[in-house]
Amino acid sequence: MIFLETLLYIIKDGKVLLIRKKRGLGSGYFNGVGGKVESNEDIYNAAIRECIEEIGVKPRELKWMGLLEFWNYDNGNVESIHFVHVFTANDYEGELRESDEAEPIWFNVGEIPFNSMWEDDSLWLPIILSGRRVYGRFIFNGWKMINHEVHPICI
């Protein structure tokens, strides 16, 4: 299966907002806010919708920061391919709230809990947090990373 998805990181006052995912793929891990793009929306509107659904706020001034490909294999067969557009925002409207999907938690940019995140995050998230865009391709087998490439990009 092929999925088009988004990830959003709100960065404000030297901190980044992460969520502790409560269910589904990556449950228990910290991540950005995000999810699947629905058939009737573009990637920007999907990122906004997911943020409102998961943590109750509307991000302001989304900035596209890159594209990540996640290829997951199972015994040599492609199980799923995820094309993930990554965004940042520097502010939001509304009040943060926890949902049945996510618990929002602020972290200092220099104190991100990479040991409680997907193993690829430490390879590309620092690039995004430094203000640069990124392209990454990650190969997993049973959601364990077996290969990767990461490239900062200029646009």
Q: Give the pLDDT confidence of 85-140 residue by residue, as tens digits.
A: 999 999 999 999 999 999 999 999 999 999 999 999 999 999 999 999 999 999 99
Count of structural domains within the chain: 1
Kindly report the pTM of this predicted structure: 0.95
User: What's the full length of the chain, in residues?
Assistant: 155
CATH number of the domain that residue 133 is part of:
3.90.79.10
Residue 155 has pLDDT above 80, yes or no: no
What confidence tens digit (pLDDT) does each residue in 52-82 have?
Answer: 999 999 999 999 999 999 999 998 899 999 9
pLDDT at 104: 98
Query: Six-digit token pair at 15?
Result: 């901190």
Q: Are 55 and 96 in contact (CB under 8 A)?
A: yes
Q: How far apart are CA 102 and CA 19, in angstroms?
A: 6
* Full residue range of the structural domain in which residue 104 is found: 2-153
